Amino acid sequence: MIFNETKLKGAFTIDLERWEDSRGFFARVFCQREYAEHGLKPVVAQANIAFNKNRGTLRGMHFQYPPAAETKLVRCTGGAILDIIVDLRPESATYLQHIAVELNENNHRTLYVPERFAHGYQVLADGTETSYQVGEFYAPEYEGGLMYNDPRLGLEWPLPVAYISDKDQNWKLLSEIEADFTRKMSI
């Protein structure tokens, strides 16, 4: 695996190291030892998939508060997405900064999302499937989210939002929850 740290400390894109022959290729997508060697938390508590029927669908911006903050390994196994993560660590030099990474069935790239980051994506092709390995069990009592179009975050989505869940449409703006949010996200 080829680990590339992004401008957000602890967040990585991970590309495949392929062994190719006439059949195609073989590649490792997860190895606890290699993740640990890069200072990443190599724990998988749950594995999930999401299937998205339509281009323009938006999922996010999701996170879990400590003590249930979760890491995520996100891959697009069919179709394509634009994945955006936001650093929610109040003590971080990149607090509230974000990166956007295209994940698709052809680049086979993985995005490692550290704890205390918001995560969301927009579907770029009909019939897209994403795979998540999550480092903590889902805990609804620690679930949180931010509006995908919060002006403070300045996220740019490539397509008009065609489909979004009621829950994702109704997250509060950061300015409305900031005091409580910062307290809960601080370690």
**pLDDT tens per residue, the chain (187 residues)?**
999 999 999 999 999 988 888 998 898 888 899 999 999 998 999 999 999 999 999 999 999 999 999 999 999 999 999 999 999 999 999 999 999 999 999 999 999 999 999 999 999 999 999 999 999 999 999 999 999 999 999 999 999 999 999 999 999 999 999 999 999 998 7
Per the domain annotation, does 31 fall within a domain?
Answer: no
How far apart are the C-alpha atoms of 77 and 51, rounded to whole Å? 10
Q: What is the pLDDT of residue 1?
A: 92
Total number of domains in the chain: 1
Give the domain extent around 178. 45-185
Per the domain annotation, does 76 fall within a domain?
Answer: yes
Out of 65, 112, 121, 132, pick the active-site residue. 132
Per the domain annotation, does 82 fall within a domain?
Answer: yes
Is residue 121 part of the annotated active site? The answer reads no
Out of 62, 98, 119, 121, pick the active-site residue. 62
The answer to whether 159 touches 55, Cβ cutoff 8 Å, is yes
CATH of the domain at 109: 2.60.120.10
Is residue 148 part of the annotated active site? The answer reads no
Per the domain annotation, does 117 fall within a domain?
Answer: yes
How far apart are the C-alpha atoms of 163 and 158, rounded to whole Å? 14
The answer to whether 99 touches 140, Cβ cutoff 8 Å, is no
Per the domain annotation, does 17 fall within a domain?
Answer: no
CA angle 108, 110, 111 (to 5 degrees): 145
